[in-house]
């Protein structure tokens, strides 16, 4: 049993293999949070410090018990009313604008299996070991309920949380905030680690003390965004990669979100994750309910690496679905950086022929094959093949690609429409825009109202015709602008939060129906690169294009930041041309391949433009990727250098779960003449074992590799007979195997 109810002590304890989470039904039914940390069996009620503190409020029914202020207790799902002035998880307004919400425990139940959520992504369990706790809170003065659900995945060390708010009153109510999870910690000094960025510069790591204020990480852009990622860590002040306590919250949602961390007046810290509350105003009519998306929580007392590894396993095995979840993905070539939308079938075949001859396994036809799509200004929404431009049908092009022995995939951007399109001319009201107000344009396009089922169905229907014709093996689903003008032409009451929530549900419905119809399809997510890289999308797409920035060195930093919350196998990564189109940087061809192998691995350039020497390397790179694929995508991932602060070298490694082998990757970022010796410390090996460098037979002690490190290898000098240091941006990949005898 993972969930234990102790009726005598009024506690409910959720156990995973290494952690415990405890809830207490406190005085007057206030639902308290007493503990989340290493596995323990006892009652942790002592963590609730009852004291009469000045200038606080007590519930009316507590009468003279002035020590019973909600503001002084760690709470499970605090509501903005009833005396807790800290950041709320729930805020409810009556129709007349009055704030209400005195939520008290009503009932609970424990069930076998992990709950699922209709229309929303959710962690699943196929081992039948998971359990679900449901706790119902009732508003003291009305018939409003908050149904809290907790999923326990014992072997993953993960606890999921969500909440459903039910309006059982006779009137409309407005939810101004309805978060998915709250975590109240009573002690400790914590840092907030969040992943911020911009288009072509996603998921930079920021670490700042939470302190005595509210820190809010979030976005209002309608997508989980390039700017902030819905994965946030609370790490003990001194916690590092391999030591210290840390908590993670990963939000399984792809729209605007907010994660607030605040230090209270008495030494506590509160973390709240949920849909962005700004302009949320979700109207619930009588009998209606709102289902908050899910948050996956994890705790590690062994530092950030362990926390990341928990999420890597969870996402790989309990969020990603479908036949591609554990299968090696085809090495692909995408034409976008080679051609943009300027192509014909002949040009594409020229790229494909060369790629096929070098061992590439799939061609992906990017933006530009449909409608009048010759640039950014037209065509989105017209999902019929431009045969005139291609010079053949999509079926014919796909067949020619297959004749080369390759799979075939296409790009789509279903949520968008250009004003210059047949679709917009026929259905202008299908675009999100407010009557009488000129809508904001993003990349010269408008957003279709995916909160409307008929819009989703129409687009799906047209795209399916192309997929049927081409029998596509793969789809890259893009989304290239933020969302601002929110208006539903069919709705009498414009509730921004509701329309945007239903919009995201529409996106999920689109992907679910696509996968139902084509169960073997490999779907790759994309939003101008990594603008919607979140655990919600990964429920549908086992991989997401990590960034439009394909500069090798920038990519190291982007993939480093992404690795905190997401596994390597989900990161779309390609080798592209140099000088890089954006940075003009020249990174050696083999280094670009090493970096792309920290991802799904593919190419995004015309391989006909390579030198003979580079072309010879392509099959070798592909073979290397295939050889190490299991280790790369299933091994435990270790960040060996902090590339936010260490600009000397980037190093990361993958270690087999049984520690029998490891793949070390090093890229030199900075060089100097006659440089001092430089070592990289390895991690995750068996300290009592020896490891052999498979390339040169050198044997090292696991303990030494992890404490002293390995010196940066030297390579033969091109001109002289000696060995030289690695140069700027050069790299090495070292495969170690454990010496058994
Ligand atoms: C943005 C994507 O991130 C790119 O890879 C490419 O597909 C373009 N869109 C096409 O418009």
The dihedral formed by the CA atoms of 523, 527, 530 and 532, expressed in degrees to the nearest 10: -80
Residue 485 has which token pair? 């003008």
- Nearest ligand 1 atom, CA 476: 7
Tell me how crowded residue 402 is: count the other CB atoms within 10 A of its CB: 15
Tell me how crowded residue 106 is: count the other CB atoms within 10 A of its CB: 14
Strands of 362-365's sheet, edge to edge? 571-572, 543-545, 522-525, 474-477, 407-412, 362-365, 332-334, 602-604, 574-576
CA of 367 to the centre of ligand 1 (A): 7
**Is the beta carbon of 230 within 6 A of some atom in ligand 1?**
no
Q: Mean pLDDT over residues 440-459, rounded? A: 97
Best CA proximity match to 223, nearest among 399, 430, 447, 377: 447
Question: What confidence category does residue 14 fall into, taking pLDDT thresholds of 50, 70 and 90?
Answer: very high
| 310/346 same-domain check | no
> What are 555-576's pLDDT values in tens digits?
999 999 999 999 999 999 999 9
| 175/239 same-domain check | yes
The span from the CA of 131 to the CA of 3, in Å, is: 7
- Domain finish residue from 604, 634, 664: 634
**Is the beta carbon of 550 within 6 A of some atom in ligand 1?**
no
The span from the CA of 467 to the CA of 629, in Å, is: 29
Measured at the alpha carbon of residue 679, what is the angle toward residues 678 and 682, in degrees to the nearest 5?
A: 160
pLDDT number for residue 288: 97
If one residue of 225, 478, 574 were mutated to test the ligand 1 pocket, choosing by the most ligand atoms within 8 A of its CB, it would be: 478
Question: What confidence category does residue 128 fall into, taking pLDDT thresholds of 50, 70 and 90?
Answer: confident
The span from the CA of 741 to the CA of 497, in Å, is: 63
- Nearest ligand 1 atom, CA 336: 6
pLDDT at residue 518 tops 90: yes
Question: What confidence category does residue 701 fall into, taking pLDDT thresholds of 50, 70 and 90?
Answer: very high
| 484/531 same-domain check | yes
The dihedral formed by the CA atoms of 558, 561, 566 and 567, expressed in degrees to the nearest 10: 70
**Burial group, residue 516, by CB count within 10 angstroms (0-12, 13-18, 19+):** exposed
The span from the CA of 56 to the CA of 67, in Å, is: 9
Bridge partners (DSSP) listed for residue 31: 25
CB-based contact 650:559 (threshold 8 Å): no
Q: Let me know if residue 250 belongs to a domain.
A: yes
Q: Let me know if residue 327 belongs to a domain.
A: no
Best CA proximity match to 383, nearest among 475, 451, 507, 504: 475
Number of domains in the chain: 3
Percent of residues, the chain, with pLDDT higher than 70? 100
CATH number at 466 reads 3.20.20.70
| 83/13 same-domain check | yes
- Domain finish residue from 599, 634, 669: 634
Q: Mean pLDDT over residues 483-488, rounded? A: 92
Question: What confidence category does residue 190 fall into, taking pLDDT thresholds of 50, 70 and 90?
Answer: very high
pLDDT number for residue 620: 98
Nearest CA to ligand 1 atom 1: 528
Please give the mean pLDDT across all residues of the chain: 97
Nearest CA to ligand 1 atom 6: 336
> What are 369-403's pLDDT values in tens digits?
999 999 999 999 999 999 999 999 999 999 999 99
CB-based contact 92:173 (threshold 8 Å): yes
CB-based contact 149:131 (threshold 8 Å): no
| 346/310 same-domain check | no
> What are 586-644's pLDDT values in tens digits?
999 999 999 999 999 999 999 999 999 999 999 999 999 999 999 999 999 999 999 99
Best CA proximity match to 729, nearest among 531, 615, 589: 589
- Domain finish residue from 318, 341, 370: 318
Residue 151 has which token pair? 């999923």
Residue 443 has which token pair? 């990349």
For 474-525, list the strands marked E by DSSP. Answer: 474-477, 522-525
| 624/701 same-domain check | no
> What are 487-504's pLDDT values in tens digits?
987 776 778 999 999 999
> What are 27-49's pLDDT values in tens digits?
999 999 999 999 999 999 999 99
The span from the CA of 698 to the CA of 692, in Å, is: 6
| 701/601 same-domain check | no
CATH number at 718 reads 2.60.40.1180
pLDDT at residue 647 tops 90: no
Q: Let me know if residue 324 belongs to a domain.
A: no
Q: Mean pLDDT over residues 647-659, rounded? A: 96
| 620/669 same-domain check | no
Who contacts 603 (Cβ-Cβ below 8 Å, separation ≥6)? 331, 332, 333, 334, 355, 360, 574, 575, 576, 618
CA of 401 to the centre of ligand 1 (A): 21
pLDDT at residue 325 tops 90: yes
CATH number at 219 reads 2.70.98.60
Q: Model pTM? A: 0.98
Question: What confidence category does residue 81 fall into, taking pLDDT thresholds of 50, 70 and 90?
Answer: confident
CB-based contact 174:284 (threshold 8 Å): yes
Q: Kindly list the distances between the CA atom of residue 649 and the CA atoms of 144, 674, 679, in Å, as whole numbers in the listed order.
A: 56, 16, 10
Who contacts 277 (Cβ-Cβ below 8 Å, separation ≥6)? 91, 176, 177, 179, 258
pLDDT at residue 530 tops 90: yes
- Nearest ligand 1 atom, CA 340: 10
Residue 345 has which token pair? 């079938």
Nearest CA to ligand 1 atom 11: 367
If one residue of 335, 367, 444 were mutated to test the ligand 1 pocket, choosing by the most ligand atoms within 8 A of its CB, it would be: 367
CB-based contact 163:150 (threshold 8 Å): no
| 146/179 same-domain check | yes
Question: What confidence category does residue 313 fall into, taking pLDDT thresholds of 50, 70 and 90?
Answer: very high
CA of 550 to the centre of ligand 1 (A): 12
Euclidean distance between the first and the last CA atom of the chain, given in angstroms as a whole number: 42
User: Which one of 485, 614, 686, 728 is the catalytic residue?
Assistant: 614
pLDDT number for residue 646: 80
Question: What confidence category does residue 723 fall into, taking pLDDT thresholds of 50, 70 and 90?
Answer: very high
| 313/441 same-domain check | no
DSSP of 229-282 = -SEEEEEETT--SSSB-EEEEEEE--S-EEEEEEE-TTS-EEEEEEE--TT--E
Based on the residue annotation, tell me whether 264 is a catalytic residue of this protein: no
**Burial group, residue 51, by CB count within 10 angstroms (0-12, 13-18, 19+):** exposed
pLDDT number for residue 199: 98
| 559/681 same-domain check | no
Best CA proximity match to 507, nearest among 535, 536, 485: 536
| Cis upstream peptide for 4 (omega within 30°) | no
> What are 204-243's pLDDT values in tens digits?
999 999 999 999 999 999 999 999 999 999 999 999 999 9
**Is the beta carbon of 548 within 6 A of some atom in ligand 1?**
yes
Q: Let me know if residue 235 belongs to a domain.
A: yes
User: Which one of 534, 551, 590, 598 is the catalytic residue?
Assistant: 534
Best CA proximity match to 540, nearest among 471, 480, 476: 476
Q: Let me know if residue 558 belongs to a domain.
A: yes
The span from the CA of 376 to the CA of 393, in Å, is: 22
Query: What letters, b where the CB count within 10 A reaches 16 and e where it falls short, cover 444-453?
Result: ebbbbbbbbe
| 585/701 same-domain check | no
The span from the CA of 360 to the CA of 330, in Å, is: 8
The span from the CA of 728 to the CA of 184, in Å, is: 46
CA of 608 to the centre of ligand 1 (A): 22
Who contacts 244 (Cβ-Cβ below 8 Å, separation ≥6)? 235, 236, 238, 301, 303, 304
pLDDT number for residue 52: 94
The span from the CA of 350 to the CA of 598, in Å, is: 28
Q: Let me know if residue 323 belongs to a domain.
A: no
Q: Let me know if residue 326 belongs to a domain.
A: no
**Is the beta carbon of 530 within 6 A of some atom in ligand 1?**
no
Q: Let me know if residue 461 belongs to a domain.
A: yes
Domain hosting residue 430, numbered range: 332-634
Based on the residue annotation, tell me whether 534 is a catalytic residue of this protein: yes
If one residue of 548, 555, 574 were mutated to test the ligand 1 pocket, choosing by the most ligand atoms within 8 A of its CB, it would be: 548
CB-based contact 80:91 (threshold 8 Å): yes
pLDDT at residue 694 tops 90: yes
């Amino acid at each position: 049993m993972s969930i234990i109810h102790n009726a005598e002590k009024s506690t409910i304890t959720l156990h995973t293999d290494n952690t415990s989470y405890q809830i207490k039904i406190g005085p007057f039914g206030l639902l308290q949070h007493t503990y989340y940390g290493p596995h323990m069996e006892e009652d942790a009620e002592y963590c609730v410090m009852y004291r009469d503190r000045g200038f606080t409020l007590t519930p009316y029914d507590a009468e003279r018990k002035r020590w019973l202020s909600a503001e002084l207790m760690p709470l499970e799902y605090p509501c903005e009313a009833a005396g807790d002035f800290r950041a709320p998880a729930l805020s409810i307004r009556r129709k007349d604008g009055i704030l209400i919400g005195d939520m008290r425990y009503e009932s609970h139940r424990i069930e076998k299996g992990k709950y699922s959520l209709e229309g929303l992504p959710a962690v699943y369990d196929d081992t039948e070991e998971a359990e679900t706790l449901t706790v119902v809170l009732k508003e003291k003065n009305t018939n409003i309920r908050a149904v809290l659900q907790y999923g326990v995945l014992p072997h993953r060390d993960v606890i999921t949380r969500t909440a459903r708010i039910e309006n059982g009153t006779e009137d409309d109510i407005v939810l101004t905030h309805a978060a998915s999870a709250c975590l109240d910690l009573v002690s400790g000094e914590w840092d907030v680690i969040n992943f911020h960025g911009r288009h072509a510069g996603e998921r930079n790591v920021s670490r700042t003390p939470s302190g005595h204020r509210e820190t809010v990480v979030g976005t209002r852009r309608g997508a989980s965004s390039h700017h902030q990622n819905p994965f946030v860590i609370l790490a003990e002040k001194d916690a590092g990669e391999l030591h210290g306590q840390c908590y993670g919250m990963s939000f399984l949602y792809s729209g605007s979100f907010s994660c607030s961390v605040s230090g209270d007046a008495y030494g506590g810290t509160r973390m709240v994750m949920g849909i962005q509350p700004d302009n949320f105003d979700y109207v619930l009519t009588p009998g209606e309910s709102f289902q908050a998306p899910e948050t996956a929580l994890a705790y590690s007392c062994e530092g950030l690496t362990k926390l990341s590894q928990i999420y890597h396993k969870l996402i790989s095995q309990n969020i990603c679905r479908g036949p591609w979840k554990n299968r090696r993905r085809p090495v692909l070539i995408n034409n976008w950086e080679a051609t943009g939308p300027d192509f014909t079938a002949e040009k594409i075949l020229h790229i494909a022929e060369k790629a096929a001859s070098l061992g590439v396994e799939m061609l992906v036809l990017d933006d530009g094959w449909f409608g009048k799509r010759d640039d950014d200004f037209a065509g989105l929404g017209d999902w019929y093949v431009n045969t005139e431009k291609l010079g053949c049908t999509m079926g014919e092009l796909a067949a020619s690609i297959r004749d080369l022995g390759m799979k075939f995939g296409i790009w789509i951007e279903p949520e968008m429409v250009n004003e210059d399109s047949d679709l917009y001319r026929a259905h202008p009201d299908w675009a999100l825009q407010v009557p009488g107000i000129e809508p904001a344009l993003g990349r010269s396009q408008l957003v279709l109202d995916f909160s409307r089922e008929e819009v989703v169905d129409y687009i799906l229907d047209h795209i399916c015709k192309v997929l049927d014709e081409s029998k596509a093996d793969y789809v890259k689903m893009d989304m290239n602008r933020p969302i601002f003008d929110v208006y539903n032409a069919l709705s009498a009451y414009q509730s921004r939060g509701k329309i945007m929530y239903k919009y995201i549900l529409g996106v999920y419905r689109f992907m679910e129906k696509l996968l139902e119809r084509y169960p073997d399809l490999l779907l790759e997510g994309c939003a101008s690169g990594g603008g919607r890289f979140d655990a919600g999308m990964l429920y549908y797409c086992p991989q997401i294009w990590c960034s439009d920035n394909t500069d090798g060195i920038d990519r190291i930093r982007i993939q480093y930041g992404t690795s905190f919350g997401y596994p390597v196998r989900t990161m779309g990564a390609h080798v592209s041309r140099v000088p890089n189109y954006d940075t003009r940087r020249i990174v050696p061809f083999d280094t670009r391949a090493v970096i792309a192998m920290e991802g799904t691995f593919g190419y995004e350039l015309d391989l006909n433009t390579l030198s003979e020497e580079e072309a010879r390397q392509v099959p070798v790179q592909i073979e290397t990727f295939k050889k190490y694929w299991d280790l790369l995508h299933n091994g435990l991932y270790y960040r060996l250098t902090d590339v936010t602060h260490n600009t000397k070298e980037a190093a990361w490694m993958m270690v087999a779960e049984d520690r029998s082998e490891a793949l070390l990757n090093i890229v030199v970022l900075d060089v100097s003449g006659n440089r001092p010796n430089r070592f990289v410390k390895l991690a995750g090996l068996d300290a009592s074992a020896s490891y052999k460098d498979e390339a040169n037979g050198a044997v090292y002690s696991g303990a030494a590799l992890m404490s002293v490190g390995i010196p940066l290898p030297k390579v033969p000098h091109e001109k002289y007979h000696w060995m030289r240091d690695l140069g700027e941006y050069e790299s090495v990949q070292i495969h170690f195997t454990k010496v058994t005898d």
